[in-house]
Structure 1
Amino acid sequence: MANQNINSHRTAKEREKMSFPTKFLLGENLIEGNVLDFGCGYGKDVEELKVKGFEVEGYDPHYQPNYPKQKYDTILCHYVLNVLQNQDQAKVLYQISSLLKFGGKAYFSVRRDIKKASFRTHFIHKVKTYQTNVILPFKSIFRNDNVEIYEYQHYSFLNQNKSEVSPFFEKLEPKEQVGELASCFAFRDKFPVSEGHTLVIPKRQVSSYFELSFREQSACWFLVNLIKADLQKEFNPDGFNIGINVDEAAGQTIFHCHIHIIPRYKNDVENPRGGVRGVIPGKKEY
């Protein structure tokens, strides 16, 4: 189909020298510790950074597909988001958030010379490739007519102990953040019902799920799906309960909207029949 973005890897350039964003970050002494180039393409920046003595790895789903197995102090992501559609952009944000050390920094470089989202024929490869403009809600550290560079750190790192941002920052250990998108983030529950119990929380502080915009709700559910997949890999549960408490009568105790993802395991209760109906015990069995 014409609208399937199957040629995004075709936009990778075979560079003869280091990319401008990496060169800029080097000049500002912003690359430190162990480094990941996420979406590295042919890997020229990785090669050049290694020559300069950096401990660096490259990952690219097409050219270097071995997914990283550790966390990094610095992650580079240059010109990746511009060639992806919305859901794939969100997945990349989630992956980089998950691969970044607490307190580390990621740098997203996006093109600024794209006028509108569209599929167009690549001038070299003669196949349809997608390109779009991207605006991120992170700190911008450089911009010209061709590129903008954003600096990202975990939402929980930037806002730790700030109860005015969310009451959760009084209750949860910031290092327990396990995922993030542009408008929501995820924490392990401080008092878990089961192993892996996780909360998905919108960044905008509202009490009720029904106060969120449809876009915010959609982002939360997209993050729920990503978290569920990771929980399945890590804990291999036999089922899940997904729930939201809205208002005190429904059991809400922290009045910043959040979605519970509760992994379930065989024989974790004597009779699981009825599931979430158990919020009113007498109505659980039917």
Structure 2
Amino acid sequence: MSDLQNPNTHLTAKERSTPSLPVRMVHERGLILGKVLDFGCGFGKDLDFLHQKGFDVQGFDPHYFPQYPSDTFDTILCFYVLNVLFPEEQNQVLMQISSLLKPTGKAYFAVRRDIQKDGFRTHQVHGKPTYQCFVKLPYTSIFLNENTEFYEYKHINQATDNQAKCPFCKPASRLILLAETPLSYAVLDGYPVAKGHTLIVPKRHMADYFELTFEEQKDMVQLSVFVQKRIKADFQPDGFTTGMNIGKSAGQKFPHAALHLIPRYTGDCKNPSGGIRAILK
């Protein structure tokens, strides 16, 4: 969604005199480690609290602290951000956080549980329409009451409780994860045919892409657009080839759908004319 459709998210930031409940709780539990990012930090009260506690912490907020992070982090905090975003915007935040998180790092999300109805309302202080919605995440819940829920997230290929046998359902920890959503993830291919060769994989075990739900298909497309920008920045390719192997006749080795995003470089083959059409020549 464009910012024009949901332009007042920054008005939901609260000017607090004390640090938030989520930051106090994760601090008391000893969950904040290493280099820290407060994603969607608003006016920065939690930043002040963490600085005072001696943490190496950075804040990002598209309105109040707009300098986007250039580093990766051991701990990322994202408190009461997702509830004021449209679903596509939520996905964008989740992709950004997963890409900013170090491989063995953890992120913590807090969402409101007291929202009765999704939609716009007139903000009591600012008198302008602000959006709010109920959010449920498929991550580990570490706290829940009638007003709020806290989640802990780590990269899918770092999960220790994943007992799946499929290498796409349980990607190897050695693989470099580029970004992740609740429905799909992107990793650099373990056996690349080119620098930056990336796989976009749905989390649900399904062999045929065309049998995925529309939401899953759309999610994979959104994720591919996100990681393509990173691949362009990291590898400077001259073009891309994208495609899927669906069925044994098409060369599919494992019965799990995957989209290949392959950077192309001038001179990487003698005659690129025809592109994908050349496969059957």
Say yes or no: TM over 0.5.
Answer: yes
Question: How far apart in 2 are the matches of 1:76 and 1:2?
Answer: 23
Q: Are residue 80 (structure 1) and residue 81 (structure 2) matched? A: yes
Report the counterpart of residue 260 of structure 1 in structure 2.
260
Task: Give the drift of 1:212.
Answer: 1.2
Question: How far apart in 2 are the matches of 1:42 and 1:66?
Answer: 14
Query: Aligned ranges for residues 193-272 of structure 1 at < 5 Å?
Result: 193-272=193-272
Which secondary structure state, in structure 2, belongs to the residue aligned with residue 206 of structure 1? coil
Report the counterpart of residue 154 of structure 2 in structure 1.
153
Task: Give the drift of 1:236.
Answer: 2.2
Letter paired with 1:262: I
Q: Are residue 185 (structure 1) and residue 173 (structure 2) matched? A: no
Report the counterpart of residue 61 of structure 1 in structure 2.
62
Q: Deviations over 1:37-75 (max 9, x none)?
A: 000011110111110111111111111111111111111
Task: Give the drift of 1:2.
Answer: 11
Which secondary structure state, in structure 1, belongs to the residue aligned with residue 22 of structure 2? helix
Question: How far apart in 2 are the matches of 1:23 and 1:161?
Answer: 30
Letter paired with 2:155: H
Query: Aligned ranges for residues 125-136 of structure 1 at < 5 Å?
Result: 125-136=126-137
Question: How far apart in 1 are the matches of 2:55 and 2:170?
Answer: 37
Question: How far apart in 2 are the matches of 1:200 and 1:168?
Answer: 10
Letter paired with 2:69: P
Task: Give the drift of 1:209.
Answer: 1.0
TM-score, L = length of structure 1: 0.93
Task: Give the drift of 1:168.
Answer: 3.7
Task: Give the drift of 1:161.
Answer: 8.2
C-alpha change, 1:64 and 1:206, in structure 2 (3 Å) is: same
Residues 7 and 127, structure 1, Cα contact 8 Å, conserved in 2: yes
Task: Give the drift of 1:11.
Answer: 0.5
TM-score, L = length of structure 2: 0.94
Residues 172 and 190, structure 1, Cα contact 8 Å, conserved in 2: no
C-alpha change, 1:274 and 1:162, in structure 2 (3 Å) is: farther
Q: Deviations over 1:25-47 (max 9, x none)?
A: 11211111111100001111011
Q: Deviations over 1:194-253 (max 9, x none)?
A: 111100011111111122111111111111111111112222222111100001100111
Letter paired with 1:100: L
Q: Are residue 28 (structure 1) and residue 32 (structure 2) matched? A: no
Which secondary structure state, in structure 1, belongs to the residue aligned with residue 215 of structure 2? helix
C-alpha change, 1:69 and 1:116, in structure 2 (3 Å) is: same
Question: How far apart in 1 are the matches of 2:181 and 2:242?
Answer: 19
Letter paired with 1:183: L
> Unaligned stretches of 5+ in structure 2?
none
Which secondary structure state, in structure 2, belongs to the residue aligned with residue 140 of structure 1? strand
Residues 164 and 170, structure 2, Cα contact 8 Å, conserved in 1: yes
C-alpha change, 1:160 and 1:246, in structure 2 (3 Å) is: farther
Residues 160 and 174, structure 1, Cα contact 8 Å, conserved in 2: no
Which secondary structure state, in structure 2, belongs to the residue aligned with residue 96 of structure 1? helix
Which secondary structure state, in structure 2, belongs to the residue aligned with residue 174 of structure 1? coil
Percent identity over the alignment is: 48
Question: How far apart in 1 are the matches of 2:19 and 2:171?
Answer: 44
Task: Give the drift of 1:24.
Answer: 1.1
Task: Give the drift of 1:268.
Answer: 1.8
Q: Are residue 114 (structure 1) and residue 130 (structure 2) matched? A: no
Which secondary structure state, in structure 2, belongs to the residue aligned with residue 74 of structure 1? strand
Task: Give the drift of 1:260.
Answer: 0.1
C-alpha change, 1:132 and 1:169, in structure 2 (3 Å) is: closer
Question: How far apart in 1 are the matches of 2:204 and 2:169?
Answer: 14
C-alpha change, 1:55 and 1:201, in structure 2 (3 Å) is: same
User: How many residues are matched?
Assistant: 280
State the superposition RMSD in angstroms: 1.9
Question: How far apart in 2 are the matches of 1:79 and 1:99?
Answer: 19
Question: How far apart in 2 are the matches of 1:27 and 1:161?
Answer: 28
Task: Give the drift of 1:123.
Answer: 1.0
Which secondary structure state, in structure 1, belongs to the residue aligned with residue 201 of structure 2? strand
Which secondary structure state, in structure 2, belongs to the residue aligned with residue 31 of structure 1? coil
